[in-house]
Amino acid sequence: MPKGLWIWPSNPKAQRIVLRKVASSPHLMAALTVLGKSKEGMSDAELDDAINDYAEWTTLWVIRQLTSLGFLEYKVDFFGNPAKYQLTEAGRNALATVTGQPVSPKPIAPVPPSAPPTQPPPAPRPAAPA
């Protein structure tokens, strides 16, 4: 992996070669695996802890490699929570191909429960003749 940043090739044979390189890297596989299990994604610190190497430069290298391949996306939270990395569909497919096990689909944002249908208010009755 000393060649640096990658791009996902269009040739299927070259794709298999890249997947073999990813599978041979313990750091890349650790990151893909924990991100595949994560429902809401992981922040930098969470990913660093999950890779378990305690070297931020290695985590940065992993993030750059997986992002350049199109396996990760970076989701920014505008309300003060940490930004999170999530697997893309390509990342899920790559993880499933490398591990041979299906990966759970991307979590769907929960739909707020709709209020039960209410009955329309009764129509006003005409006033009784006096």
For residue 23, what is the domain's CATH number? 1.10.10.10
Single-letter code of the amino acid located at 107: P
In a domain, 79, yes or no: yes
In a domain, 77, yes or no: yes
Point out the residues of the chain with pLDDT beneath 70.
1-5, 104-123, 128, 130
pTM of the model: 0.71
Q: Which residues, in sequence order, are bridge partners of residue 75?
A: 84
Instruction: Note the pLDDT tens digit of each residue in 93-118.
Output: 999 998 888 776 555 555 555 555 56
In a domain, 111, yes or no: no
Owning domain of residue 29: 12-99
Do the beta carbons of residue 67 and residue 74 sit within 8 Å? Answer: yes
Query: Which is it for the CA torsion 87, 93, 97, 99, positive or negative?
Result: positive
Cα 52 from Cα 37, distance rounded (Å): 16
Single-letter code of the amino acid located at 93: N
